[in-house]
Amino acid sequence: MAGTSAVTVVARLKAKAGQSDGLRVAAEALIAPTRAEAGCINYDLHRSCDDESQFMFHETWASQAALDKHLKSEHLTSFAEKAGDLLAEPLEVTLWEKIA
């Protein structure tokens, strides 16, 4: 994957029992500041139709460099600090490149 091409991220989150609402609130708080970041093309939060404890971010970044900067942002590092109290399992992140 070239460093200057757009990169899509799929990040899956599973809430601990009783923490679905807390995870949703914490995840929703990431949306506005992330969408304001340079290089953010889209940053959308989804919830599973089958399991209310599962969430997914679908993100597209203009470049790997823009994504790398996002990963160091204050709002994301703050979220990571509280994630242990909210997540039932480690965050699952996969990177994708658009073909067509």
pTM for the complete prediction?
A: 0.91
**For all residues of the chain together, what is the average pLDDT?**
94
pLDDT in tens, 42-58: 999 999 999 999 999 99
* Residues sharing a CB contact under 8 Å with residue 59, sequence separation 6 or more, in sequence order: 8, 9, 10, 11, 34, 40, 42, 43, 44, 67
Cβ neighbours of 13 (radius 10 Å):
24
Share of the chain above pLDDT 70, in %: 96
Q: Give the separation between CA 53 and CA 37, rounded to whole angstroms.
A: 27
Return the pLDDT at 28: 97
Return the pLDDT at 35: 98
- What CATH number should be reported for the domain whose range is 7-96? 3.30.70.100
For residue 4, is pLDDT > 80? no
pLDDT in tens, 12-32: 999 999 999 999 999 999 999
